[in-house]
Amino acid sequence: MDTLRWLTGEECLELLDQTKLPAEITYIRCSDYRDVASAIKCLAVRGAPAIGAAAAYGLVLAAYKGRPGSKEEFLARVEDAARELAATRPTAVNLSWALTRLLRKARAAITNDPEALRDIMLAEAHTIFHEDVSGNRRIGEYGQVFIPREGRVLTHCNAGALATAGYGTALGVIRAARDAGKKVSVYADETRPLLQGARLTALELLREDIPVTLITDNMAGFLMAKGMVDLVIVGADRITANGDVANKIGTYGLAVMAKAHNIPFYVAAPVSTVDLSLDSGDEIPIEERDHSEVTHHGGRLLAPAGVKVWNPAFDVTPHSLVTAIITDRGVARPPYSENLKKIILQD
């Protein structure tokens, strides 16, 4: 079950439609960058690393459109597409990071041939995809040491293979622990309002034969109080220079409860999710989504018509609540303002 796949020779991208899971496995065929933008916006593809990789291929699709023209005309066209793609989801920094990386490659290329420029951009998109898979495996290796031999892990939302190019970040740590011979079990928050934990995390873990128990979001505190959790592991959509973490709404509450119960709280994410240009989480743009995600489910109205709704897609967990940040280049511990920078800037 691939999250995304480029069809060589057909010049198109296929995206697993995660809005249909777990009931149906279908793929969206994208032959235009606007198809990718739409899929990102509606959460058919989601998870910071996955939307970064998808956006990279989307920019390649933009490079295939239009008349060849000069290099300047080519760059102007793909830059317009990049702005449109970047606007789909403002919180996840991997999106703009991947687009910037492709644009930088195209601008720096010696050739003026649009066809050659397209090939350079496609090669870079492939590199981003493969780097994400290998990086997730390194995150798993670095992180699995924190899971006890019979570890009970609580996770929120979905930070698995479905949220990445493959393998996963938070779930990658759990997979690596299982592969190391540990008897790991997982509690998965359902993750309102769109149930990514119930629909996606539970599905992934069941397919991996990793024991998983689904709970509603408001059960997590009592679960901790009963001594049924050894650690919490989540993914991230953006991490600032001081170690503040933006992740799916509800993460902050989990971190507060973990602190109150003396339970370690870990964040697993590639270095591409770290944004050293922002000093703290106060500067992270938080996406707010349509009220219907809260008032409806499966097309059915769950709340009184006309009720006011607040629907931020993410919250920010202060660095003081984070035990460690597990990246593909190693583990950062407090003080994050020093140690994250060391990891990011290492050769």
Q: Token pair of 289, please?
A: 């989504």
The DSSP 8-state label assigned to residue 6 in this structure reads E
Q: Phi/psi of residue 278, each to 5°?
A: -105, 130
Helix (H) or strand (E) holding 142: helix 114-144
Angle at 60 between CA 59 and CA 66, to 5 degrees: 90
Contact 309, 114 (CB under 8 A): no
CA–CA separation, 92 and 96 (whole Å)? 8
3-state secondary structure of 38: helix
Q: Token pair of 133, please?
A: 């898979």
CA–CA separation, 182 and 176 (whole Å)? 9
Contact 30, 58 (CB under 8 A): yes
Q: Is the dihedral of CA 231, 232, 236, 241 positive or negative?
A: negative
Q: Look at the chain and count its residues.
A: 347
Is 282 tagged catalytic?
Answer: no
Q: Token pair of 84, please?
A: 């449109």
| Beta strands 330-332; 274-275: pairing state | unpaired
Q: Token pair of 153, please?
A: 């892990």
Question: Cα 155 to the chain's mean position, in Å?
Answer: 14
Residue 60's nearest CA partner among 43, 40, 74, 39 is 74
Cβ burial, residue 131 (10 Å; 0-12/13-18/19+): middle
What is the DSSP annotation of 275-327? ETT-SSGGGSPPPB--THHHHEETTEE-S-TT-----BSEEEE-GGG-SEEEE
Choice among 35, 132, 217, 237 that is catalytic = 237
Active-site positions read 237
